[in-house]
Chain A
């Protein structure tokens, strides 16, 4: 149950209170043993020139993944990096990486371990469900919810969105399922001694500062939060000894629905950019903006 988060509804924090409440049913996360859960996703590498196979999926098309470089989602990398920095500062004691998807996910779990995560969980889903189209946020959030119940983290740090689906929904759905506070697009995170947390958040209008009176919470990470480290070779070697627990959805069964709730109808490449033209004078410019580009 997630009842220990009633405190987060209070808007005024009692600075004399060191965080304990009277309700003995509520669990008290201890600063000394803070555990961070970091979901990571294996996606097409951000630098790859994407190609569409238009005839796939009965004509809907899909992004061609054969022989294409796959990497950890950049926003997930940022989340792992932030967790490792919390560990370097001794605020976090254990980092658990988790990934939902077919067997290949182990690659990004190994990368997370090499970056500094302590152990990993792989929720292994069927090979035929593509993680960019078929396995959708509601399902992923459901699996992450089950893992969070089991792992009891003090903080879930995750990327704000995946660069393949670009849904940006998993964070919110997960926070909702857990009934934990959620702060999105974090550009700066400070965890305080009393287990409260201040987050600077990027919006289109600028940066705002939010305060979470008490963890646990779900925070999604944005680009400016940090610059992720490369996994050094010694850490890659050490990661070999770190544990990856596998939850095999097929053989163990699950109540989380895996079929897509949204159907992807068509995918196509954007129109290629046409060359510009020179105009002779301002009148011509206005005429073109009005009648051709139709922007005024």
Chain B
């Protein structure tokens, strides 16, 4: 293997060369040890590896130091969030360059960003997700050229903070049971929006007024699936903040709100996609959303494994280092294996997803179902391994434990995944593959 590295290599631009080179180029040997044919599922190309590396440095230097305080005070770090756009260029990760994005239209890249951010501050990452995936990515796929030109540059740079409104006070998993309506006024071709949306990430930034931009789903026809999505802008008459939701268990540095729509008049230009056709847009975006959320669970798990692993080597009891005890070995090793299983599942699904179409629902639900529970369990083991220290904010894992719980609820409850996956699996009467 080493002798291959000495072969004269001309300037690298072919991907097969670079992937071979990437493996040979690492001085370090990954934990499992690999042959020279190894394909790095978690960094499929050099750009993925560069993105991950850059993010990791940024997270260590800029995100990690601010996480605890914002969690404690339930405040949003607007300044750091904007730097994700201006300094890093990741707010518009999947958006075309002509609209101010980075053009990295790839689900693995989305997973990488969420995994790396969540290894330090899942709450901050959740706000990133709501903005970049739920609004920005959705609009870049489903919006028309004029809408993209109008809204995307500001969200890609971070000047405006955005989100998406689907759930309501009385409808979560039963999303098609929503009661927010948009009545079409034939006279001036506008839609009048009425209703309340709940659990909206980035719904408010200052706690007093609404966030800047939202994609809102509303009922526009008589059939259960007759939904349309609209862009609603801050300041539109009738659009107001219901309440900032406080005292959340986790994700406390991410602002969550109830938003109120009272006769908000929306011009035709604010309809995204076709009227009564938004269910498809919703389902398609939910797939990438679930991969992103599963990747957040991966980041949480990874960090917890690292912290309990290093603690187990530093801490002594009964004259031995903690990792010599069977229960601690079980905690660390089972966490590692489950993390790797979840990680492989997520990145394999991400690799094969086409961002423009739906149809990967079964595994998008599957990764979230598996990883949500996995991260919560790993975080719990981390606290247990670290004992008293694990129970305290300064040692990070308790915050990750509280944050991890959300991933079994938000973006799809475990129950919704059961329902959806059963619907898909029912159609399979013979072999699974």
Contacts and interface: CB of A to CB of B under 8 A. Distances in A.
B56 interface: yes
A38 B21 CA distance: 23
Interface string A215-253: 000000000000001111111110111011110101110
Interface string B1-34: 0100111111111000000010011111111000
B156 to A, nearest CB: 10
Contacts of A250: 6
A104 B27 contact: yes
A236 B47 contact: yes
A127 interface: yes
A70 to B, nearest CB: 7
B6 A251 contact: yes
Contacts of B58: 230
B144 interface: no
Given A67-B29, A236-B50, 18 more contacts: A65-B28, A67-B31, A102-B25, A104-B25, A107-B53, A114-B50, A124-B9, A231-B54, A232-B89, A233-B102, A233-B104, A234-B89, A234-B102, A236-B47, A236-B51, A240-B46, A248-B9, A251-B8
27 contacts: A47-B60, A66-B29, A67-B29, A67-B31, A70-B28, A71-B53, A71-B57, A105-B25, A106-B21, A106-B25, A111-B50, A126-B6, A127-B6, A230-B87, A230-B88, A231-B54, A232-B88, A233-B88, A234-B102, A235-B89, A237-B47, A240-B46, A240-B47, A246-B9, A248-B6, A248-B9, A251-B8
Contacts of B60: 47
Nearest to A128: B2
Contacts of B21: 103, 106
B29 A243 contact: no
B28 A68 contact: yes
Contacts of A107: 25, 49, 53
Given A230-B88, A237-B47, A104 B26 contact: yes
Contact of A65 (B6, B27, B56): B27
Specify which of A106, A126, A236 lies most central, judged by the most chain B CB atoms within 10 Å of its CB: A236
B393 interface: no
A68 B421 CA distance: 40
Contacts of B46: 110, 240
B288 interface: no
Interface in B84-100: 87-90, 93, 97
* Contact-residue bracket for chain B: 35 or more
A69 interface: yes
Nearest to A67: B28
B288 to A, nearest CB: 17
A233 to B, nearest CB: 4
Given A127-B5, A230-B57, A246-B8, A110 B50 contact: yes
Interface in B57-116: 57-58, 60, 87-90, 93, 97, 102-104
A67 B27 CA distance: 9
A232 B86 CA distance: 8
Nearest to A64: B28
Contacts of A230: 54, 57-58, 87-88
A100 B164 CA distance: 49
Contacts of B49: 107
Nearest to A235: B89
B50 A234 contact: no
A237 B46 CA distance: 10
Contacts of B8: 246, 248, 251-252
B4 to A, nearest CB: 9
Interface of B: 2, 5-13, 21, 24-31, 46-47, 49-51, 53-54, 56-58, 60, 87-90, 93, 97, 102-104
A13 to B, nearest CB: 40
Contact of B87 (A104, A110, A229): A229
B2 A106 contact: no
A243 B50 CA distance: 16
Interface in A67-125: 67-71, 102-107, 110-111, 114, 124
Contact of A233 (B2, B6, B29, B93): B93
Contacts of B50: 110-111, 114, 231, 236, 239
B108 to A, nearest CB: 14
Contacts of B11: 243-246
Specify which of B6, B88, B102 lies most central, judged by the most chain A CB atoms within 10 Å of its CB: B6
A66 B31 CA distance: 9
Contacts of B5: 102-103, 127
A126 B2 CA distance: 9
Contacts of A105: 25
A232 to B, nearest CB: 4
Nearest to A110: B50
A236 B43 CA distance: 14
B51 A233 contact: yes
Contacts of A127: 2, 5-6
A124 B11 CA distance: 12
Contacts of B27: 65, 70, 102, 104
Nearest to B11: A243
A245 B56 CA distance: 28
Interface string A10-49: 0000000000000000000000000000000000010100
B87 A69 contact: no
Nearest to A120: B11
Specify which of A107, A128, A243 lies most central, judged by the most chain B CB atoms within 10 Å of its CB: A107
Nearest to B102: A233
Contacts of B103: 234, 237
A270 B75 CA distance: 41
A136 to B, nearest CB: 18
Specify which of A106, A126, A234 lies most central, judged by the most chain B CB atoms within 10 Å of its CB: A234
Nearest to A113: B50
B2 A232 contact: no
Contacts of A245: 11
A237 to B, nearest CB: 6
Interface in A145-191: none
Specify which of B30, B53, B58 lies most central, judged by the most chain A CB atoms within 10 Å of its CB: B53
Nearest to A249: B6
B81 to A, nearest CB: 15
Contacts of B7: 248, 251
Given A102-B27, A103-B24, A230-B88, A240 B13 contact: yes
B103 to A, nearest CB: 7
Specify which of A128, A231, A239 lies most central, judged by the most chain B CB atoms within 10 Å of its CB: A231
A237 B104 contact: yes
B309 to A, nearest CB: 12
